Amino acid sequence: MIPVTKTFFPPIEDYQAQLKRIWENEWLTNRGELVKELELKLKKHLEVTNITLMTNGTLPLQIALKVLGGKGEIITTPFSYVATTSAIVWENCKPIFVDIHPEYLTIDETKIEAAITPRTTAILATHVFGNPCNVEEIENIARRHDLKVIYDAAHCFGVKYKGKSIFEYGDISTCSFHATKLFHTGEGGAIFCKNEELNHKLNYSHNFGHNGPEKFYGVGINAKMSELQAAMGLTVLSYIKRITQDRKAVCSYYDAHLDSSKVQKLKLRKNSKWNYSYYPVIFESEKSLLEIQEVLNKNGIFPRRYFYPSLNTLEYLNNSRMPLSENIAGKIMCLPIYQGLDVEDMKTITEIINSYGE
């Protein structure tokens, strides 16, 4: 079977060496030595001002919304993973959808201002498949209307825009370190913030509000990363260059062999350094996608319809139509991409897609 992705498993001996440190320290959680070490190494590797590690990639979104959302209206994209919208609803805020750019697939910044009301408190935008939003224009809009900006950068490990980490844009950025991601800790995530005062609040918010063992800065929840997760992160990080290179090779193969008349590829925003974390393709119609998907499945190949459905169509929401997002969501599919994907398998995938309709 060829899945859409596979978790990178580092050599077990490398992971066991990190686990041995945990056993020697007799410390499993509550911001232990490995968590702090991983934060420092990621801060250097990613070239970011601040980072706080968390136990998954959704809690950073929830904390960001709790701190900046104020139970108001949150302008957001309908083309993202469900966590982006569910976090808004979970934190008693209201998602207000804005349609997407037809090529970049990120939120269409030209439509944001029309959605702003006196109840709007923040913009929550997704860098789709690691493709940056128009961060300059979103920042300008936020400044004009005194709004906060949160970026769901779940797919963005290692992405840069204009020579700077994509995590350095906005008031807060979040990332996922789920097992399927380019860099992972099994489960895990992180929150990024340049402002020191806000970063301090985010940090204590993820640890029950603690200021030492008996005092508290304010309210918080438990979003701490464990030492076991950090051990995996430290191990995987030492292989990140190889992981990225292997995924780049898969992308290069698809680029060279897919028939551009059969699929439309993601247009990357200018001045972006991409991370090759996904390979989405857009078909002519949902009908062609489903027919090709069926053939691929019969050959033991399982791509993923990602993101599907358009989030404005979720049954627990009552929102207006988003024609572009709904159209793209029906026609887009991510092809298999992971370290170790065999060339013969990539050949089979491209030949099936290229032969459609012949």
Q: Which of the residues in the chain have pLDDT under 50?
A: none
Q: How many domains does one find in the chain? A: 2
Residue 330, domain CATH: 3.90.1150.10
Distance CA(202)–CA(38), nearest Å, equals: 18
Q: What is the pLDDT of residue 358?
A: 63
Please choose, from the candidates 61, 83, 330, 250, the residue with its C-alpha nearest in 3D space to the C-alpha of residue 172: 61
Q: Are residues 287 and 168 in the same domain?
A: no
pLDDT tens-digit map of 15-43: 999 999 999 999 999 999 999 999 999 99
Do 233 and 244 belong to one domain? no
pTM of the model: 0.96
Specify whether 141 is located in the same domain as 32: yes
Q: What is the pLDDT of residue 215?
A: 87
The reply to whether 164 and 298 lie within a common domain is no
Check which CATH number belongs to the domain holding 194 and give it.
Answer: 3.40.640.10
Residue-level pLDDT at 291: 97
Asked if residue 162 and residue 126 are part of one domain, the reply reads yes
Q: Is residue 156 domain-shared with residue 53, that is, in the same domain?
A: yes
| pLDDT value, residue 212 | 81
DSSP summary character for residue 60: H
What pLDDT score was predicted for residue 211? 87
For the stretch 119-162, pLDDT in tens is 999 999 999 999 999 999 999 999 999 999 999 999 999 999 99
Domain end point (choices 203, 237, 271): 237
Strands 189-192 and 332-334: unpaired
pLDDT at residue number 188: 98
Residues 265 and 131 in one domain: no
188 in the same domain as 129:
yes
Report the pLDDT value the prediction gives residue 214, as an integer from 0 to 100. 84
Handedness of CA 68, 74, 77, 83 (dihedral sign): positive
Same domain, 161 and 289: no
Q: Is the dihedral of CA 282, 287, 288, 293 positive or negative?
A: positive
Contact (CB, 8 A) for 150 and 133: no
Domain that residue 267 falls in: 240-354
